[in-house]
Amino acid sequence: MWQRRSTQWLLIFGVWALPGLYFALQVYLQHAFANHPLTLTQALLRGLIFWLLWVVSSPLVLWLARTFPIPRREWLDGLLFHLPAGVVFSFAHLVLYVFVSARLSGIPIHSFSDFLAEFQPVFLSSFAWWSLVYWTILLASYAFDYYQRYQEGALKASQLETQLAQAQLQALKMQLHPHFLFNTLHSISALMREDVEAADQMIARLGDFLRLTLHNSGEQQTTLQQELKFLQCYLEIEQLRFQDRLRTEFEIAPSVLSAHVPNLILQPLVENAIRHGIAPQKAVGCITIRAQHTNGRLQMQVQDNGPGASTNGRNETGVGLSNTQARLRQLYGANYSFETGRVHTGGFLVTLEIPFQIAASFHESEPKD
């Protein structure tokens, strides 16, 4: 608070320093050819008085501006107050200036007529300008308050946009959990009739996956290493479902394990590959997950050897792919790349690139029961 008040007073002093010097020069030139010319020192003294009086008076004008504002709708009430207030304030300020400057300049004032002789020429030449100073301070105060409210409104709007973006990200992220959960429960239901032991193992792996997911449920981003732990747990579930029909390969550069990635960004891509690339075929299916650092960006790929995008109704509008792209757009704006397409050797490839950022600190440890 003390620093704020000190800054305000320094600002007021600085604002009136230049007008005070200008006024001193004007007074000196006005009296240069008069019967009683002033010395430069006397002129500077009067300018100093002018400056100090406005320094002392400015906070009062600012207080009047805030106490009796001129609102947009009821502007007439505020105007009817400040019109006479400006006249009275300027007149009183001018009287005080003439009296103080006369006393400090050694001009004798023994009667009202002596004071009037000093006051009249100053009043005729300066009263209109004095009133203009009052209105300048008034309008400057309103302009500053308006700018401050504008800045506060802009900050509030920015905060609301950030909160909205976070809410949208959270909604998109939560949409992925039921999508995976329902598919897994469906697989468990099917296995219960064929292989109870495999179904039991799948339930255990599902519990591990949900435990890992809930451990970072409040974070939109994690490390690639932690993301791969999620993915491994998910693939163990799917491995129980497909047995020897599913094979996975990881081509991960060690230097990217600590990179920043969106939480649960790879799992829906792998799920999409299993659903459309592995499940429809009877042959052994292979899913390859790649990650590397290239040109300041983190490139991640999920590729399968399935039928590709031209058959089995496979497209780019599924829940996993569309939500992944929507999350990337919310997190990185236009600073990301998301491409899908059929590989010339067969299969489907999803490639995404995001800025390469090393995570400062994340909770890498397993959650405790």
Q: How confident is the model at residue 32 (pLDDT cuts 50, 70, 90)?
A: low
Kindly indicate the confidence band of residue 167, based on its pLDDT and cuts at 50, 70 and 90.
low
Q: Give the mean model confidence (pLDDT) for residues 230-247.
A: 85
Residue type for 239, please? Answer: Q
Q: pLDDT above 70 covers what percent of the chain?
A: 69
What average pLDDT does the segment 223-252 reach? 88
Instruction: For residue range 180-233, list pLDDT tens digits in order.
Output: 677 778 878 887 888 888 888 888 888 887 787 677 666 778 899 989 988 888
How do residues 318-335 score in pLDDT, each as one tens digit?
667 887 888 888 889 899
What distance in Å separates the CA atoms of residue 56 and residue 9, rounded to the nearest whole number?
A: 10
66, 75 in Cβ contact below 8 A? no
Is 24 within 8 Å of 48 (Cβ atoms)? yes
Residue owning tokens 């308050």: 145
What gap in Å lies between CA 227 and CA 230, rounded to an integer? 5
Residues of the chain with CATH 3.30.565.10: 195-355
Q: CB 272: neighbour CB atoms within 10 A?
A: 22
**How many CB atoms lie under 10 A from the CB of residue 307?**
17
- Is it the case that residue 298 has pLDDT exceeding 90? yes
Residue 260 DSSP class: E
- In the predicted model, is pLDDT for residue 24 greater than 80? no
313 pLDDT higher than 50 = no
The pLDDT score that the predictor gives to residue 210 is: 77
Listing DSSP states for 289-343 in one string gives EEEEEETTEEEEEEEE-SS-SSSTT--S-SHHHHHHHHHHHHHHTTS-EEEEEE-
What is the biggest distance separating any 2 CA atoms in the chain, rounded to whole angstroms? 120
Residue 269 CA to residue 263 CA, distance in Å, equals 13
Residue type, 295: N
- Higher-pLDDT residue of 175 and 146 is 146
Question: Quick one: tokens of 187?
Answer: 């697989």
Of the spans 58-67, 127-136, 197-206, 215-224, which averages the highest pLDDT?
Answer: 197-206
List, in sequence order, every residue forming a beta bridge with 292; answer none if it has no partner: 299
Phi, psi of 220 (to 5 degrees): -85, -20
For position 156, what pLDDT does the model report?
76
Does the structure show a pLDDT above 60 at 4?
A: no
Distance CA 32, CA 118 (A): 16
The tens digit of pLDDT for each residue in 272-297 reads 888 888 888 888 889 999 999 999 99
Q: CATH homologous superfamily of domain 195-355?
A: Histidine kinase-like ATPase, C-terminal domain (3.30.565.10)
Q: Which residue has the higher pLDDT, 302 or 115?
A: 302
* Predicted TM-score (pTM) above 0.95: no
Instruction: Look at residue 37 and tell me whether its pLDDT is greater than 70.
Output: no
Q: Which residue has the tokens 């075929």?
A: 281
